[in-house]
Amino acid sequence: MDLVVNVLSMCIPFSVALLLASLGEMFNQRAGIFNLGCEGVMAMGAFSGMLVPFLVGHGGAVPMVYNALGFLLAGVIGALLGLLFGLVVITFRAPQGIAGIGMQMFGVGVAGTLFRYFVGGTQSVPGVPSFPIPVLSKIPVLGKIFFSHNIVVYLAFLFVLLSNFILFKTSWGLRVRAVGTHPRAADSMGINVTLTRYESLLVGGALAGIAGAYLSLCQAKMFSDELISGRGFIAVALVYFGHWNPYKIMLGALLFSLAQTFQSVVQGLGISFPYEFAVMLPYILVIVVLAFSSRDQKSAPASLGKPFNREIRT
């Protein structure tokens, strides 16, 4: 029983970085932009997030506000990278898959280089402490699983609700969905396709940056070159898994994290089993689930990956 509670309570904070990055990618893709560079943006976010508290406290304790500033910086850097990506794929209409690979290498490379320049070696930061919610966290079992995490975890899950609201109940969400599916129709209705796509990249980039900062400030409490380790790519896969829907994406992020925590706990138990296989498990899960998930493409943004040019018919 303890083991189950442990796995579940670990899996929730573990899913947050994936969740935020996937939601960001969802906004990109809903607007028709396929951003494979999520990994790179997360790396930049992770580095810039820990930079602020590190420079202020030199590894020692810092007031919470500097952590918040770290998140803010990560979000801003992420948003700027989103705009850079927009410049490449929207304005210059470069192929999005290739540009995404470039963005991934750029982000990971630059983050690693700056890290060596500003920080040097492995240095931990105090990070964001956990904040058990009064009363609720005292509930047996459920309290530990749901209400004993750091504040960012709660906010991230609230953001799932907000994303759904933004996507389906606001005029911005309507614009985003329209330009990702039928940009010509949106254009004929007086919607600025280019602007809407840039906006979605701004939001998506900021979320990926914050997701990265979550890893360095809340999860690992440090930065290293391997910190992101493919989470950006998993985030892209989860968007497909979740059919561009915030709730289903949340489900996917939780499922993946569950497999991830499960394998690490199993390793900890010392069962003799080649750990390489255990580590593979979550990734195999993603592949299998994607292979068998429904091919219902009705909600899919049909113009995903296609540049728009009003005066050229395709």
Residue 311 and residue 258: Cα distance in Å, rounded?
48
Q: How far is CA 245 from CA 122, 161, 260, 305, in A?
A: 38, 11, 22, 18
> Binding of another protein at residue 294 (CB under 8 A)?
no
Residue 186 Cβ, how far from another protein at the closest point, in Å?
7
**With contact defined as beta carbons under 8 Å apart, do 50 and 217 qualify?**
yes
> Binding of another protein at residue 177 (CB under 8 A)?
yes
Which one of residues 120, 134, 140, 190 is an interface residue with another protein (CB under 8 A)?
190
Residue of 11, 6, 12, 3 whose CA lies nearest to 271: 3
- Taking contact as CB under 8 A, which single stretch among the options 8-16, 164-172, 249-257, 259-267 is the one that binds another protein? 164-172
Q: Which is nearer to another protein, 170 or 267 (CB)?
A: 170
Q: Is 102 helix (H, G, I), strand (E, B) or coil?
A: helix
Residue 306 and residue 300: Cα distance in Å, rounded?
13
Residue of 152, 141, 107, 136 whose CA lies nearest to 15: 152
Size of the site for another protein (CB under 8 A): 26
> Binding of another protein at residue 300 (CB under 8 A)?
yes
Q: Which is nearer to another protein, 209 or 301 (CB)?
A: 301
Which one of residues 184, 221, 248, 306 is an interface residue with another protein (CB under 8 A)?
184
Which one of residues 142, 164, 182, 225 is an interface residue with another protein (CB under 8 A)?
182
Site residues (vs another protein, CB under 8 A)? 169-172, 174-175, 177-178, 181-182, 184-191, 298-302, 310-311, 313
